[in-house]
Amino acid sequence: MKFTVETWDPDYGAPSEPDLVDSSENVDPSVEVAAQQWRPLFPESEPAHDVLFVDGVRRVDANLWIDREGRFPGFGLAATYAAGAVRCNSAATVVAAEVRRGVFTGADAEPVATVMGTYDVMSTRGSTPEELWLGIQERMGDLEGEVAEKHADVALVVVDGPLSHRRHVEGAVGYVKTQHVQYLPDELRSTLGSLPVGCRTPLFLTTTSWSRFSWYLRLANGTGPAGGLVRCEVKADMTVAAAAQLANLVTASLPRFASARHKDPRAPQNLYPIGGLERELRRRLGDRDLAIRALRRAAV
C-alpha cells in the first residue's frame, strides 16, 4: 500500500476535509483568467515589508445552569476570548491584545463578577451548544475586527480565518488555512495540485451571503494534496485589477512567514506571527482552573 503521511498534527483535525462541501455553483472562476486558461500565476510584486497579522482565541471556562423561578434552569457557557495583532516590519511586535469574558446564553441572565474579572451577558439566539459556540465565535470575530481597524495603518492586513466580521476593515485579507468547502469545479482543481511554491491560482468570485474574490496559494512544500496550500479572500468591492494586485502582494509576502514542523504542529500553514500571537493571547486568558474556582465562589 502506497500512502503519504500528512505533517499537520492530527490533534487539529486535517488541513483539508476528505469530502469538501461543494459550493462551486456560487463561483465565477473567469473574473481574471478564462476558466479554460487557468494556470499557476507567479506574483509580479515585491513583498510587503510592513504586515499586520490579526487573530483571536477563545476558551469555555465552565458550563452554567441559570436559575429561572418555576422553570427548568437555562443553560449557558462562561467563556473567555481574546483578539490581538502582531506587526511585522524590521521586527515582530504585539501591538494589541484585548481580553473579554462573557456569559453566553439564550436565557435571562445577569453579569457575573469574579476575582478573575466580570463575565458580561452575551445573549445568543438559543441555548444549544452549537448556538452558544457560534455566539462566542461571533463576539471574538467582532473583537478581531475592532483590533484590525485600530491598527490598519500598514501595507498589508492579514486576518486569520475567513474575513466575515472583519470585512469592514479596508484592504483586509482573510487567510484560510483549513479547507472545508470546494469552491472550484472539478476541472479546475488540478491547478491546485500543480501550484509551485510562491504561486497562486487566478482569482475567482464567490457570491454566497456576501461577495468576495478568492485565490489559492502555495506557501511552502508540504506532504499530502493540501500541504502548504491556503485560500485567501478579499471583499469584492474593488475592481478585478485591484484585487489581482492585492493577491500578488499577499502571494509574494506570506511564504517567508510559513512555519516549520519542528516549531509548529500546523506547519507550514500556521504562519509564525499567528502562532506566536495565539500563544500570547492564550497566556492572557489566564489560568482556566482559577477561572472555574472563581466562578464557583461567585455562585455561592
Of 10-14, 56-60, 69-73, 262-266, which gets the smallest average pLDDT? 10-14
Average pLDDT, the chain: 89
* DSSP assignments along 171-213, one per residue: TEEEEE-SEEEE-S-HHHHHHHHTPPTT-BPPPEEEESSSEEE
Q: Show the cell assigned to 158.
A: 492579514
Q: Report d(CA 181, CA 19) in Å as an integer.
A: 9
Average of pLDDT values for 51-74? 94
Backbone torsion region of residue 228, taken as left when φ is above 0, otherwise alpha when ψ lies between -120 and 50, otherwise beta: left
Q: Of 81-85, 149-153, 234-238, which one has max mean pLDDT?
A: 81-85
The pLDDT of residue 1: 43
Residue ranges of the alpha helices (H) in the chain?
129-150, 186-193, 240-253, 272-285, 288-299
Which of helix, strand or coil describes residue 274? helix
Which of helix, strand or coil describes residue 221? coil
Positive or negative torsion for Cα 233, 237, 240, 245 = negative
Average of pLDDT values for 132-138? 96
